[in-house]
Each structure stands twice: as C-alpha cells, then as structure tokens.
C-alpha cells in the first residue's frame, strides 16, 4: 500500500467536495449544490477527484423517481473521469495520481470528488482523454451490450437507430458501422442528420417530416431492418415494430417519450415473428466480468477510431440546465459537467 494511502477514520483525511443532490423527486429545480466533507475511503474504496462528468438520461430518471435511488438525499450521476486522490485498505492495482473513469451505480458522479468502490475504476490509457471517456463510457458499454450480447451484429446486417445524433446514437452508429452493418437513423433536424452522417450514418430520416416506418420499408425494399434500437418509447416503440423484418429484433432501451403501455403479443407474432428485448445496462454491468469486458471494448474502440462528440460543457453548478437541455431534445452529442 502506498505511503499516500488514506487511512479510514483519520480525521485529517477528510476532504471537501461539492455535490449536486436532490432531497425529493421531481423537476430539475430539485437539484441543489451542497458542500460536504468526504471521509477517508474505506476498505476497498478510492477517493477520486473528478475532471469531467457525463450527463445521461438515467440521471433524469433518477431525479424524477422513475428509477428510484436507494435513499434520499442523494447525489446524481453515474459516469465520470478523474484522478485517484486517496486509496483505502485492501485496494490493489491503483495508485494515487492515476487517471481513471467509471460508469454505473452507485450514483454520485455529479460532484467535485467522491468515494467510490475501487472495483468500478477503469484505468485510462494515455491516449484516451478524460472528456472523451466521460462522454461515452456508459454509452460504449451499452453499445457493446446491444451489439454483442443482445443481438450479435454482423457484416451485412441493417439496423435502425432512433435519435441517431444523440450521445448514444452516435456511438451506436459508429460501432455498428465498424462491424460492417448498414445503419438507418431517425433524427430531428437537417443539422442533426448531417452530424450523424459525418459519424457514418448511411441514411437519415427526419422523423418530424416523414413516416419513419414507411421510409425504412422503402430503404429496405419492403423487408424491414434486422435490428432496431429504440430509446424513445411511447408510440415510437409500437411503430418501430412495423419497421423490422420477420425474425428480426427490437431492443427497447429507454422511454424518453413515456411508457408505451402494454404490448399485445399479436403485434410480435406469429404472423410477424418479431423478437422484443428490454435490456438494461445496469443489470449487464452488475456482473463485474461484463462491466470490465464492456469497458475494455469501449477503450479499444476509442483507440481504433471511435469519435466522441461533446455538444456542450457546463459547470457543475449548472447541472439542472444540463438536464433541461438533455430533456428538451435540442442537444446533439454528449453533455458534460465540469467540476
């Protein structure tokens, strides 16, 4: 153990930190900044001083209570990059001053610093920048889960990706193209269509101007796509079933537009023979081996050409504005908070 290791219970090891917390579920106005004193990291923990914080839709779901947090008050956020500042007993393989990133629970990344289970820390190579990894580690693990585990994608497959110019959408487009797939995406504006095309999208559908199901059928000669990934939910999920070929799959990974309600199995088959998956990346990452696998796959993709797109960087004090921007649909790429 390093001579810089912080000893749990040593009051001299307390460190100040600012956190963006909620005391009750509700709108973005519930987010408040609070100053806390972090104790020395306990056994199996590290203290990380953040340099870049990722903003994700799951943060909104946590804030509203759609996905309840273990207890309130609580700091929001599930993704960040930073520098190891102190190490608790029993931690091996990490050093004070080392650059790391992490994704997933426990929540609490909306902070200048925090204590974190050391098992969540992912050591960063020198050629991967903090902003880059903080903007897409969770999304990269999600892409790995969707394209490797939920439905392995191979060269020649055709995919439909909703919100193709969003933070996750741009990662999915690039990842699927690297696997040799053809990718069709829905976007909300010509500017977003151009952004998605610059990241490899084959065909952009302006969903506000066109029936995306009809457009997909035209682009696929009436066959439909092999695989559709939908983070929109609501009526979009139901409509997406009509864009998939027989024996294809729809993965429902979010509900920005709300719950689609009960689905009649007759909409899936046997006449249509469509598979519907509802995978959760937090459940995927609950397995330490899969978490490490997904993180390693993401870093490897970054080192082989996966491009990060950071659309906005806001100070931690504007965490509520960051969530407003994400919810509005006006953002493109990822949103970061700067501690």
How many C-alpha atoms does 207 have within 13 Å on its Cβ side? 19
Half-sphere exposure of 45 (CA within 13 A, CB side): 15
Claim to verify: residue 193 and residue 273 sit in the same structural domain: yes
CATH of the domain at 122: 3.90.180.10
Is-contact 1 87, C-beta < 8 A? yes
Q: Please indicate, yes or no, whether residues 72 and 159 belong to a single structural domain of this protein.
A: no
Domain span holding position 35: 11-135+309-338
Q: Taking residues 54-80, report their average pLDDT.
A: 96
pLDDT in tens, 97-130: 999 999 999 999 999 999 999 999 999 999 999 9
Residue 143 lies in a domain: no
In this structure, are residues 304 and 137 in contact, taking their beta carbons and an 8 Å threshold?
no
Question: What are the φ and ψ backbone dihedral angles of 159, each rounded to 5 degrees?
Answer: -115, 150
Looking at the structure, do residues 272 and 321 belong to the same domain, yes or no? no
- Give the number of domains in the chain: 2
pLDDT digits (tens, 9 = 90+) for 155-182: 999 999 999 999 999 999 999 999 999 9
Domain presence at residue 293: no
Q: Could you tell me if 323 and 241 lie in one domain? A: no
> 201 with 250, same domain?
yes
Residue 10's pLDDT is what? Answer: 41
Whether 163 and 126 map to the same domain: the answer is no
Identify whether residues 110 and 76 lie together within a single domain: yes
- Residue pair 230/252 in contact (Cβ under 8 Å)? The answer is yes
Rounded Cα distance between 277 and 229, Å, is 10
Residue 130 sits in the same domain as residue 161: no
Residues 86 and 19 in one domain: yes
| In-domain check, residue 301 | no
- Residue 248 forms part of a structural domain: yes
Q: 71 near 23, Cβ under 8 Å?
A: no
Residues 161 and 245 in one domain: yes
CATH number of the domain to which 183 belongs: 3.40.50.720
Encoded tokens for 185 = 């995406």
205 and 317 within one domain: no
Question: What's phi and psi for 261, nearest 5 deg?
Answer: 80, 180
pTM, to two decimals: 0.92
178 within domain boundaries: yes
Contacts of residue 64, Cβ cutoff 8 Å, sequence gap at least 6: 25, 26, 27
Model confidence pLDDT, tens digit, residues 125-153: 999 999 999 999 999 999 999 999 999 99
């Amino acid at each position: 153990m390093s001579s810089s290791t912080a000893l749990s219970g040593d009051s001299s090891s307390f460190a100040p930190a600012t956190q963006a917390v909620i005391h009750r579920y509700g709108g973005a106005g519930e987010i408040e900044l609070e100053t806390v004193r972090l104790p020395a990291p306990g056994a199996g923990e590290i203290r990380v001083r953040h340099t870049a914080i990722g903003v994700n839709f799951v943060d909104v779901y946590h804030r509203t209570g759609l996905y309840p947090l273990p207890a309130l008050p609580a700091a929001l956020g599930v993704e960040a990059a930073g520098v190891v500042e102190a190490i608790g007993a029993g931690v091996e393989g990490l050093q004070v001053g080392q650059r790391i990133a992490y994704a997933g629970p426990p929540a609490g990344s909306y902070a200048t610093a925090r204590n974190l289970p050391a098992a969540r820390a992912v050591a960063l190579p020198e050629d991967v920048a903090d902003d880059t990894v903080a903007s897409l580690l969770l999304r990269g693990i999600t892409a790995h889960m969707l394209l490797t585990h939920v439905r392995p994608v191979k060269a020649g497959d055709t995919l439909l990706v909703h919100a193709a110019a969003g933070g996750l959408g741009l990662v999915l487009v690039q990842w699927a193209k690297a696997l040799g797939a053809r990718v069709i995406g829905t976007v909300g504006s010509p500017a977003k269509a151009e952004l998605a095309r610059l990241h490899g999208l084959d065909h952009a559908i302006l969903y506000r101007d066109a029936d995306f199901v009809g457009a997909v059928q035209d682009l696929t000669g009436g066959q439909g796509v092999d695989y559709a990934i939908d983070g929109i939910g609501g009526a979009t999920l139901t409509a997406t079933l009509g864009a998939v070929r027989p024996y294809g799959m729809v993965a429902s990974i979010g509900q920005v537009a709300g719950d689609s309600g009960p689905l009649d199995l007759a909409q899936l088959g046997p006449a249509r023979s469509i598979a519907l998956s509802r995978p959760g990346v937090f459940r995927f990452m609950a397995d330490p081996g899969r978490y490490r696998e997904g993180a390693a796959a993401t870093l490897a993709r970054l080192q082989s050409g996966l491009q990060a797109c950071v659309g906005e960087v806001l100070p931690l004090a504007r965490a509520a504005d960051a969530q407003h921007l994400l919810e509005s649909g006006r953002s493109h790429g990822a949103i970061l908070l700067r501690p």
